[in-house]
Amino acid sequence: MAHLPGKFVWFEHVSPDPAKAQAFYGGLCGWAVQSMPMGDQTYDMIMNGEQAIGGWRTADTGVATHWASYLSVPDVDKSAKASTAAGATLVMPPTAFGSVGRGAAIQDPSGAMVCLWKGASDDPQDTATTPFGNWFWNELWSTDVKAATAFYAKALGYAIDTMDMGPQGTYYILKDGGGAMRAGAMQQAPESPMPSFWLPYIHVADCDAAGAKARELGAVRTIVPPTDIPGIGRFTVIIDPLGAPIGLIKGAS
């Protein structure tokens, strides 16, 4: 079984209106929907071409629309226990999901939600290039990034590197046991009204065009206008019509 502990392997859009979300992202990214039997129910998967890359879920009452990030771990029960010992809150205890895998949900010490996951099948493997419509990066926007990164290092085994971003402050990079870069983390501005959250980035062919298309399709607003990151690419961050933040990036060629 080819698992990659430390990699974010699945992303799930959680909202009160999955059909509306499916229409928006279908128009923006060309994603299709494929239903998978789950006992006496069905689960709608996000299909980027022939590849299943995530899913759609109806939010429980009172739960804000968001993208849920699923992190591959070698043992869900042990990782959940280590996480709570390091200061996380257990939101969903380790649970078996039929023949699909085993998962748990935690809230890190800065308030961001993350799902711990051990799939019954292989994790999506690393590739030299990221297809358009696939996940390019995952980034923690934290109200206390130092506490958060210390937690991910202690509980989940990440090595933490830092980059000086000048006026933007320090950018943190989370690396797995093999040294692969798996995620980033940054400190939110004190005046930001948003709680800590994980922000996935979708790879797009043209950042500016994708941002404009998102607005045409009903995106609520733009958090970060199209911006260049030397050597990395050009990105923008928007709020989708249901209220979830999402990043759009064109990687440097």
Residue 90 tokens read as 């257990």
User: What is the pLDDT confidence band of residue 106, given thresholds at 50, 70 and 90?
Assistant: very high
**What is the total residue count of the chain?**
253
Is the model's pTM score more than 0.85? Answer: yes
Q: Establish how many alpha carbons lie within 13 A of residue 233's alpha carbon, considering only the half-sphere containing its beta carbon.
A: 20
CATH number for 135-251 (one of 3.10.180.10, 1.10.10.10, 3.40.50.300, 3.40.50.1100): it is: 3.10.180.10
Q: Residue 85 in 3-state DSSP? A: helix
Per-residue model confidence (pLDDT) at position 154 = 97
Domains 8-119 and 135-251 share a fold: yes
User: How many CB atoms are located within 10 Å of the residue 220 CB?
Assistant: 15
Residue 210: closest CA among 230, 240, 185: 240
pLDDT of the residue at 1: 57
At residue 195, what is the residue type? P
Q: What is the pLDDT of residues 37-81, one digit of tens each?
A: 877 788 999 999 999 999 999 999 989 999 999 999 999 999 999
User: Mind listing the pLDDT tens digit for each residue in 177-192?
Assistant: 999 999 999 999 888 8
Asked whether 10 and 65 are in contact (CB, 8 A), the reply is no
Sketch the domain layout of the chain as residue ranges.
8-119, 135-251
Report residue 120's pLDDT band, with 50, 70 and 90 as the boundaries: very high
Phi-psi region of 87 (alpha: psi -120 to 50; beta: other; left: phi over 0): left
122 sits in the region (left: phi over 0; alpha: psi -120 to 50; else beta) called beta
3-state secondary structure of 56: strand
Confidence of residue 104 (pLDDT cuts 50, 70, 90): very high
Of 251, 249, 250, 247, nearest to 69 by C-alpha is 247
List beta partners, residue 156.
none
Name the CATH superfamily, with its identifier, for domain 8-119. Answer: 2,3-Dihydroxybiphenyl 1,2-Dioxygenase, domain 1 (3.10.180.10)
Mean pLDDT of the chain: 95
